[in-house]
Amino acid sequence: MSKHFVIVGAGEAGARAAMGLREQGFDGDVTLVGGETHLPYERPPLSKDGMVAEVFAAKTIATAERLAEAGVAFRGGATVAGIDRAGKRLAMGDGSALPYDKLLLATGASPRRLAGVEGERIVYLRTIEDAQRLRGALGAGRHIAIVGGGFIGLELAASARARGAEVTLIEALPRLLSRGVPEAIAGRIAARHLAGGVRLVFGDAIAGIESGADSARVTLASGTRVDADLVLIGIGAVPNVGLAEAAGLAIDNGIAVNGQLATDDADIFAAGDCASFPLAIYGGRRVRLESWRNAQDQGNLAVRNMLGAGEIGASVPWFWSDQYELTLQIAGLADEGAVTVERELAEGSILFHLSADGRLVAASGIGVGNAVARDIRLAEMLIGRGARPDVAALGDPGVRLKGLLAA
């Protein structure tokens, strides 16, 4: 009898997994279940090109033709009401049942919401519809207030300025990007936003947000009021674990999986933004990564292990963000470092983070365009190998990282 593999979640991890099953030679049935009616699409461009391009167009991960050619049954606009682990079937929102032999949960994450803050002038960014609504509010003569100084808020601030809108960005903490980005690089990003005309407000909490028919007002703890045409809330994301939790699967800042991305049910795996997993290169530290590449890597790893490979994930975390002409790239986890070494480049700089015993654990770079891309990639390879490069060589731009890798 033909096996049936079901993937719940049609984002980067889920779509990648569906195609990956065929690339791995799986000849059974594959069903990809998506909550949105759209074909699988990439979310990172929504805050970047999707805002500034002359014509809005989502970047599709897999077309209907490609899915059909691969023999992937796509069920868009579908909801899953529950998982019957004993019977190995999904209870669908329309009352039907969907049996599975192996199940991959790639349910992603949702924007973290401010309790009690709702209204026509309050927006979050996650979907195509969110992006279209936000894009329509950008332009000369408009004022956007952004709550949150993380990647989403900053990318949208840069996009809004590119379209001529006024921007006030409010961050309750003393600086931007306090989670995972070194202060020196965050400072450079802040300076670029100030130069770009963004008003930055630090260290002031939100006391209240009011949404009217034509405008909104943000009131801060200091008493300061910010009037705007639209308020974007960008205060992080929470993993979509409701389905897994209701089924009795372990939850630990996401659906808890092992190094092979298997849950505590041997026939159920999880991948992408919804999953927390142990990173072997950091002593098994459990993390949850909201990143495009991680979603791709884990989609591929999950299907290999659903097919019995027994492979432990070994990818080095990698993040990137485009703001104005600058690109930020980080390989590894900077907070694992005890020592930092800086390398200045012609159009950028890189901070190398080393553990107390000299192992390279992360590299944080920022520069114009692709100025840091090659060196960050080489640093990523050094991190993956557990290398202990010479500190002086790391700081010397005349020493090629490729040579350190060869050594």
Instruction: Please tell me the least confidently modeled range out of 11-15, 53-57, 182-186, 199-203.
Output: 53-57
Tell me, yes or no, whether 127 and 179 share the same domain: yes
Please compute the mean of the pLDDT values over residues 201-214 and round it to a whole number.
95
| Sequence letter at residue 76 | G
Confidence class for position 394, pLDDT limits 50, 70, 90: very high
Q: Do the Cβ atoms of 187 and 194 come closer than 8 Å?
A: no
Tell me, yes or no, whether 251 and 292 share the same domain: yes
Predicted confidence (pLDDT) per residue in 79-115, tens digit? 999 999 999 999 999 999 999 999 999 999 999 999 8
DSSP calls for 357-385: TS-EEEEEEEEETTTTHHHHHHHHHHHHT
Confidence class for position 116, pLDDT limits 50, 70, 90: confident
> Is 314 among the domain residues?
no
Tell me, yes or no, whether 384 and 277 share the same domain: no
> Is 317 among the domain residues?
no
Tell me, yes or no, whether 220 and 197 share the same domain: yes
Instruction: Please tell me the least confidently modeled range out of 8-12, 55-59, 255-259.
Output: 55-59
As a 3-state breakdown, the chain gives helix, strand, coil percent values, each rounded to 5, of: 30, 30, 40
> Is 313 among the domain residues?
no
Tell me, yes or no, whether 139 and 219 share the same domain: yes
Alpha-helical regions (H) of 213-371: 242-246, 292-306
> Is 320 among the domain residues?
no
Residue 292, pLDDT score: 95
Domain that holds residue 20: 4-110+238-306
Residue 161, pLDDT score: 97
> Is 378 among the domain residues?
yes
Provide CB contacts within 8 A for 343, sequence distance 6+.
349, 350, 351, 352, 375, 394, 395, 396, 397
Tell me, yes or no, whether 123 and 214 share the same domain: yes
Tell me, yes or no, whether 260 and 118 share the same domain: no
Tell me, yes or no, whether 106 and 84 share the same domain: yes
Tell me, yes or no, whether 47 and 72 share the same domain: yes
* CATH for 391: 3.30.390.30
Q: Is 206's pLDDT higher than 70?
A: yes
> Is 311 among the domain residues?
no
CA-to-CA distance for 131 and 56, rounded, in angstroms? Answer: 9
Tell me, yes or no, whether 283 and 358 share the same domain: no
> Is 319 among the domain residues?
no
pTM: 0.96
* CATH for 154: 3.50.50.60
Tell me, yes or no, whether 148 and 161 share the same domain: yes
Q: Is 406's pLDDT higher than 80?
A: yes
Q: Report the percent of the chain where pLDDT is more than 70.
A: 100
Domain boundary among 278, 306, 334: 306
Strand 80-84 relative to strand 237-239: parallel, antiparallel, unpaired?
Answer: unpaired
Number of domains in the chain: 3
Domain boundary among 209, 233, 257: 233
Domain boundary among 192, 216, 233: 233
Confidence class for position 57, pLDDT limits 50, 70, 90: confident
Tell me, yes or no, whether 95 and 168 share the same domain: no
Average pLDDT, the chain: 96
Dihedral in degrees, nearest 10, Cα atoms 168, 174, 180, 183: 100
> Is 157 among the domain residues?
yes
